[in-house]
Amino acid sequence: MECAIILPIYNDLHHVKTCIRAILRNTGQVNYKLCLINNTSDAQTTHYLKSLLKKYSHIQICHQAKKIPEWQLYINSIKLYKSPYFVFLHSRIIVPHNWLQRLLNAFSMQENIVSVTPLSNLFLPLATGTNFHTMDWFLQKNASHAYEKIDLTTISCHIFKRDILKNLLLQSQNSLQALNYYITNHHRQSILVQNVYVQWQTNEKIEQQNLPIAAELTMPQRWFPMPVIWQTYREMLKNWQQRQILQVIKAAFKGLLQLPSAYCDFAKPSLTAKLTYPQRLRVTYILPKLVIAGGVLSVIQLVNRLILQGIEARIVTLFEDPILQNYWQILTRPILFKKPAELIKHCPTSDIIVATHWTTAHWVNKIKKSGKATHSVYFLQDYESWFYPENNQRQRQKVLDTYALIPNKIVKSAWLQDLLQQDGYDTTKIWLGMNLDVFYPRQVKKETVPVILAMARPGTSRRGFEPTMQSLTLVKQKLPHVKIILFGDNHLVNYDIPFDYQDEGVIFDQEKLAQLYSLADVFIDGSNYQGFGRLALESMACGTACVVTNVGGVTEYAKDKENCLMVSPKQSNDFAAAILNILHDQELNMHLIQGGLKTVKAYDIEREAVETFDYFQALK
């Protein structure tokens, strides 16, 4: 049986690559064509699609001259391909092993079945501590012949018999509603099978089904109000700053109404073990808080890539920001505990357990000693003792003392490796990886005036807020027409900034950040030091010239006059001169841009994930 997999694509390169890689890796021996419909994507996405043609003979691409609605693309494909079965697939779907054969097998359940849909997180949410591979394995074992009749409401992943689509086309009907109507009137069935589970990377609300198998995935519930309190406070503060007093009251009242229903799963070790894919490497990352921050993003990216490599990677934490997964999707459902003692007692059994912050090192050490983990690893992203002032030596020493607790240490820069070496500890350096399928030069409409983009975080002293503002003031005096964009803090209005600027606040959306980098002519990061310096590398990846300080982890990749200009921390005059130099010297600007684009190729998240996987395998 031949099957045509129809995959419309419009940009969103990160999810597109994940989707296509999963199809190529997991579809197995089924005879299929992968039909990619490029719906006017940008140059980077189009280049990737064209590169696939050189590697895979069963891939075909149709390029649209103008963008048209996605459903129409699916319907049009019926005219192009003669396969007896069609899969309509969304580009944010990740498929598991042998998915297509199992969907095709479902047609043999009854003769009148014309459409088959797998389970996904739209219908059945990930169980706590699991990922889509684990859910798929569990459902194969426990729901092999179960299915439900459904109406099609949105296109995610569906397989159709060609005849039903052809008849619809002949009647000039081209909507899901018309398809449902036709199926019902002709006594056919669309079914939802429960032995295939795909992951849809979407923020849409889950259309939960009343499925018997869900009872076997349900964990005990207990009251957990902190996420509601956190979100309510954030809404109240936002409205207070805008002097919208009535909205402050409404936000508070809404939060109070939500408190009684603020429950979350309690992941008992016995249930977590039941929902663990057998004979796979089990890696658990321990975070104090799962919030929107650069270090947390690094962990999430790694966990996602390790899951895609077939590792049972989990996240365990004491708090998850309720809006985090609106912007950063995680391929596992984090396990939440209320207190460190509870986390230590109930943490799932692991082959490797990873501390991600100095406060978690003690927890990881106790978990390892309890026998719940075979190996422990310390993932060091910064020299955290310097987070505290020099006059607080007691607190600094507390951080330094944690280094002796865990023998295996990963750092992400030579600068950090040298500091740990001076403290007497050996480490393994694995460069930080970025998602280069998000951060790349975007096709944005440039401003008619020069644009300077700067990270501004006045609440964190090591981020160099004051010298950054002083340097931008000097630039503004020399070039009054220049446009300045600041991001990184939601309270800049409370500070005396002596020039006009565009305030972008804290940017959660990585796509928006990539657009801003691409818009800017110069990016400036005036931090006194950083463990690595993710922002400057992101801006290089987007084709923007950078000015950075010459100390800290940024020296891992930043090379003065090769891919950026570097100045000493707190030197406002030097920063201003460097910015003006880039704006006035177009040849220098292009030289730095090309140097940056060349540099970032070595800092892909795929490479970091592979090196991390190899490191874990060596421990095992």
DSSP states of 476-488: HHH-TT-EEEEES
Could you give the number of structural domains in the chain? 4
pLDDT score recorded for residue 173: 58
For residue 583, name the pLDDT band (cuts at 50, 70, 90).
Answer: very high
For residue 205, name the pLDDT band (cuts at 50, 70, 90).
Answer: low
pLDDT score recorded for residue 207: 60
Confirm whether 220 is domain-assigned.
no
CA–CA distance, 511 with 327 (Å, rounded to integer): 9
Tell me the pTM: 0.92
Confirm whether 271 is domain-assigned.
yes
Mean pLDDT of 518-534: 93
Q: Answer whether 433's CB lies under 8 Å from 605's CB.
A: yes
Confirm whether 445 is domain-assigned.
no
| pLDDT, tens only, 307-363 | 999 999 999 999 999 888 888 889 999 999 999 999 999 999 999 999 999 999 999
Highest average pLDDT, of 181-185, 203-207, 295-299, comes from: 295-299
| pLDDT, tens only, 442-480 | 999 999 999 999 999 998 888 999 999 999 999 999 999
- The answer to whether residues 243 and 206 belong to one domain is no
Bridge partners (DSSP) of residue 567 are 549
pLDDT score recorded for residue 1: 66
Q: Answer whether 309's CB lies under 8 Å from 613's CB.
A: yes
pLDDT score recorded for residue 110: 86
Flag whether pLDDT at 137 surpasses 60.
Answer: yes
CA–CA distance, 350 with 282 (Å, rounded to integer): 5
Residue with the bigger pLDDT between 376 and 223: it is: 376
Mean pLDDT of 42-64: 95
CA–CA distance, 422 with 431 (Å, rounded to integer): 20
pLDDT score recorded for residue 187: 80
- The answer to whether residues 481 and 578 belong to one domain is yes
For residue 128, name the pLDDT band (cuts at 50, 70, 90).
Answer: very high
Confirm whether 525 is domain-assigned.
yes
- The answer to whether residues 190 and 276 belong to one domain is no
Q: Answer whether 453's CB lies under 8 Å from 525's CB.
A: no
- The answer to whether residues 299 and 414 belong to one domain is yes
With the C-alpha atoms ordered 38, 44, 50, 55, is the resulting torsion angle positive or negative?
Answer: negative
Mean pLDDT of 241-249: 86
Q: How far is CA 19 from the centre of its chain?
A: 14
Mean pLDDT of 283-302: 94
Flag whether pLDDT at 186 surpasses 80.
Answer: no
- Tallying the residues shown for the chain, one arrives at 620
User: Tell me, what DSSP letter sits at residue 492?
Assistant: G
pLDDT score recorded for residue 569: 94
- The answer to whether residues 386 and 462 belong to one domain is no
- Domain holding 565, by residue range, is 451-600
Confirm whether 26 is domain-assigned.
yes
CATH of the domain at 182: 3.90.550.10
CA–CA distance, 433 with 558 (Å, rounded to integer): 15
Per-position DSSP letters for 308-363, written without gaps between them: HTT-EEEEEES-B-TTHHHHS--SB--EE-SSHHHHHHHPPPEEEEEE-SHHHHHH
Confirm whether 440 is domain-assigned.
no
Flag whether pLDDT at 517 surpasses 70.
Answer: yes
Confirm whether 131 is domain-assigned.
yes
Q: Answer whether 193's CB lies under 8 Å from 102's CB.
A: yes
- The answer to whether residues 577 and 560 belong to one domain is yes
- The answer to whether residues 273 and 400 belong to one domain is yes
pLDDT score recorded for residue 127: 93
CA–CA distance, 231 with 242 (Å, rounded to integer): 17
Confirm whether 441 is domain-assigned.
no
Phi, psi of 258 (to 5 degrees): -80, -20
Give Rg (Cα) of the chain: 26
- The answer to whether residues 283 and 406 belong to one domain is yes
Q: Mean pLDDT for the chain?
A: 92
Helix ranges restricted to H, 108-225: 132-142, 162-170, 176-185
- The answer to whether residues 162 and 76 belong to one domain is yes
CATH of the domain at 369: 3.40.50.11090
pLDDT score recorded for residue 221: 86
Q: To the nearest 10°, the Cα dihedral for 65, 201, 139, 118?
A: -30
Mean pLDDT of 421-431: 96
- The answer to whether residues 132 and 229 belong to one domain is no
- The answer to whether residues 337 and 463 belong to one domain is no
- The answer to whether residues 162 and 244 belong to one domain is no
Flag whether pLDDT at 117 surpasses 80.
Answer: yes
Could you write out the three-class secondary structure of 363-404? Answer: HHHHHHHCCCEEEEEEEECCCHHHHCCCCCHHHHHHHHHHHH
CA–CA distance, 470 with 572 (Å, rounded to integer): 6
| pLDDT, tens only, 57-98 | 999 999 999 999 888 888 888 888 889 999 999 999 999 999
Out of 137-151, 528-542, 602-616, least confident range: 137-151
**Neighbour-count burial of 297, counting CB atoms closer than 10 A to its CB (0-12 exposed, 13-18 middle, 19+ buried):** middle
CATH of the domain at 579: 3.40.50.2000
The pair of structure tokens assigned to 50 is 């064209």
